[in-house]
Structure 1
Amino acid sequence: MSLGNQLDTLYRQVIMDHYKNPRNRGTLDGDTLSVNMNNPTCGDRIELQMKVEDGKVTDAKFNGEGCSISLSSASMMTQAVKGLEIDDALKLSEIFSSMMLGKEFDEGDFDLGDIEALQGVAKFPARIKCATLAWKAMEKGLKEKE
């Protein structure tokens, strides 16, 4: 098996793990930023909740329904933004968008971790909206907060 095929297999496993065992699925109590978004093309729907204190995302959870790409991306995104300053969370979202569009990107100081597993989605234009839904919800919520 070539290295490319091995990576594809590993990435599929990571995506399926986040889909079957989503991190941060549920709701937050108290004062939260809440954003509902959907992708009418395929029926993906997400409700994202974030706690933002002192300019930092202190917690994030999501609920929703959709395909494995959409829900695993939401799981990865909520993990990645916890503890980030608002500006850094938005910068990470820009990096993710570039990755989804197949553009060159500089991950800078960020460790993309599991998020890199979604790189292959760029080869399937119809699935990019699935992968970016949660990220767009996070951007919308944080930009309204500023």
Structure 2
Amino acid sequence: MFNEIIVTNFSAPTHQGTVESPDIKLSLGNPVCGDKVEITACCDQQKITQIRFKAWGCATSLAMANIFCRQVEGLTITEALKLADNHVDTMLGEIEPSQHHCLDMLKSLFNQLKAEEIVL
């Protein structure tokens, strides 16, 4: 039911929490299943220096939030968006059809990050 990527990121999240005085705040929810994710991040000259998440929902959505944070921390927003363009469909590994809403949520986080690139 859950692949190793999802299990690892759900059972031992490395980026759970919040960032003090964030430069970026991302949030999304899925009205169908009730999943909710909030991301806070600090940036220094477009580089994401610290990023954390709070999430409520299924195991896959919590894992997805951790994966997003893990993947983009330490990158500039431009680098993160290039990563997303090339790898977003594989970041969660192979998922069941019932988990595909989390891939849509991951793509939405990257789209929100793209909007932040313009603001910063």
- Which TM-score tier does this pair reach, normalised by the shorter chain? 0.7 to 0.9
Q: 1:139 to 1:51 in 2, by over 3 A?
A: farther
Instruction: Answer yes or no: is the 8 Å Cα contact 2:17–2:52 preserved in 1.
Output: yes
Structure 2 contact 23–42 (Cα < 8 Å) conserved:
yes
Question: Equivalent pairs: percent with the same residue?
Answer: 25
1:127 deviates by: 2.1
**How far has the Cα of 1:34 moved from its partner?**
0.9
**Secondary structure of 1:47 counterpart:** strand
What 5-or-longer segments of structure 2 have no aligned partner?
Answer: none
Q: Deviations over 1:1-59 (max 9, x none)?
A: xxxxxxx9xx7233112112211100101243112210112111001111121111111
SS in 1 for 2:94: helix
Q: Is 1:95 the equivalent of 2:67?
A: no
1:88/1:145 CA distance change after superposition, 3 Å: closer
The count of residues paired between Structure 1 and Structure 2 equals: 118
Query: What letter matches 1:21 in structure 2?
Result: A
Q: Any stretches of 5+ residues in structure 1 without a counterpart?
A: 1-7, 101-114
The code of the aligned residue for 1:82 comes to: E
Structure with greater helix share of residues: 1
Deviations 1:65-93 (A, max 9, x none): 11111111111111110111111111222
CA RMSD in angstroms comes to: 2.2
Quickly say closer, same or farther: Cα 1:72–1:93, change in 2 above 3 A: same
TM-score by length of 1: 0.69
SS in 2 for 1:119: coil
Larger Rg belongs to: 1
Aligned pairs (5 A) from 1:6-21: 12-21=3-12
Whole-angstrom CA distance in 2 between matches of 1:76 and 1:45 = 15
SS state at 2:43 partner:
strand
